Structure 1
């Protein structure tokens, strides 16, 4: 076989190899695109793009709400439950509880300090208790940011730009007023606290099933809203400024 024929065969083989690699790379890119589009099409509740842990801030509060440390989460939930039982079921008053706790603590420390003189031991050293400044300032700053954000959302809703959001907020406040009429503030706070410690961890565990069901529910809600818009909202007369814009 001549050198010319060998060079032709090598060039043909190179072309076939390049074509094969090109097809494989294009198929890989197509697979990446299809997988990315498939991931983009996955419905997440409330348009969530981050994991549930990141939604809650990703710090220690998120660990507590999502039961990353079961002892701490169970202790906090048990403590809040005990407070609710004392103040709501047993109708214990806060001032009475604080006074009784102080009486008990002072009596125990006083008796312990005097008992050490009879058994020839040094009296116990009572530790100094002080509230640190930095956590209080961080909590106040975070609370201020959330309150300002809530005011901005309420202002945006009251401006009349989104009728759907306005109606949903009005319906939510109406339901909340009915619930608040049925139980006192402490019970309502306890229910919200228990839901905050149970619903996120259950949602994180079964998020695919919940998101699939929520997607179907949102489709149905949009259909019903479209019917309501066609039969009721579209028949509401618009103001002169809005007609001029249209």
Structure 2
């Protein structure tokens, strides 16, 4: 059985184009799926049913025709999914969901205004993005970005880091001005002191 670390290593190899054929196959497959569902307006359930109809019809005809032409019938293997990978994925998802809920609880408690404003701005940005395109297109754009940005960063790491450092310095300057002109003028209630026992 492959552990989660091995799966993550394989995913990193695909994203960083270590094996160009596999990475290209993923990108071409995602592009074909996006074209099929988004541009041609085909539906997932219809596609799955059509594929199953085709496979079952071929296997059924092959099994019945094999008796007439004195050939062996197709050997259909018994397929069973292992339980361990699904449990590992479920455990990782549960941990990440609990962590996200903890962060949301911390933000909603009203202790950190900066984090609250950052989350509100992020959610607002995603709501605008969601109104511009549907989920499948957004998923496809994210998929393509995951397959291009890491490899481009790895190739041009020095230039990107220098630009990011300049951008961070400029962002800190602008935030300081915003803090002085806007955030410092927001009225805040008195902080409650904790009772010591």
Same fold (TM over 0.5): yes
Question: Structure 1 length as normaliser, TM-score?
Answer: 0.70
Distance in 1 between residues matched to 2:106 and 2:10, nearest whole Å:
32
Instruction: Tell me, yes or no, if structure 1 residue 97 matches structure 2 residue 47.
Output: yes
Partner of 2:170: 220
Q: How far apart, CA to CA, are the structure 2 residues paired with 1:79 and 1:148? A: 32
Relative to the length of structure 2, the TM-score reads 0.87
Larger radius of gyration: 1
Among candidates 133, 137, 143, match of residue 193 of structure 1? 143
Which residue of structure 1 aligns with residue 82 of structure 2?
132
**1:21-80 deviations in Å (ceiling 9; x for gaps):** xxxxxxxxxxxxxxxxxxxxxxxxxxxxxxxxxxxx962221222222222222222222
Aligned to 1:12: none
- What is the alpha-carbon distance in structure 2 between the residues aligned to residue 101 and residue 58 of structure 1? 30
- Provide the rounded CA distance (Å) in 2 between the counterparts of 1:198 and 1:127: 38
User: Distance between the aligned counterparts of 2:20 and 2:78, measured in 1?
Assistant: 30
Residues 159-217 of structure 1 deviation map (CA, whole Å, 9 limit, x = unaligned): 33332222222111111100100111111111111111111121122121111101111
Structure 1 segment 31-110 matched on structure 2, within 5 A: 59-110=9-60
Equivalent residue of 1:239, what SS? coil
Counterparts of 1:158 and 1:76 in 2: how far apart (Å)? 39
Deviates more, 1:75-84 or 1:133-142: 75-84
RMSD across aligned C-alpha pairs, in angstroms?
1.8
SS of residue paired to 1:240: coil
SS in 1 for 2:165: helix
> Is residue 141 of structure 2 the alignment partner of residue 141 of structure 1?
no
SS at structure 2 position matched to 1:100: helix
Long gaps (5+) in structure 2: 1-6, 193-197
Segment drifting more, 200-209 vs 101-110? 200-209
2:125 to 168, 175, 188: 175
Measure, in 2, the Cα distance between the counterparts of 1:216 and 1:163.
Answer: 25
Question: Is the aligned partner of 1:114 residue 2:64?
Answer: yes
Structure 1 partner of 2:106: 156
What 5-or-longer segments of structure 1 have no aligned partner? 1-56
How many residues align structurally?
Answer: 186
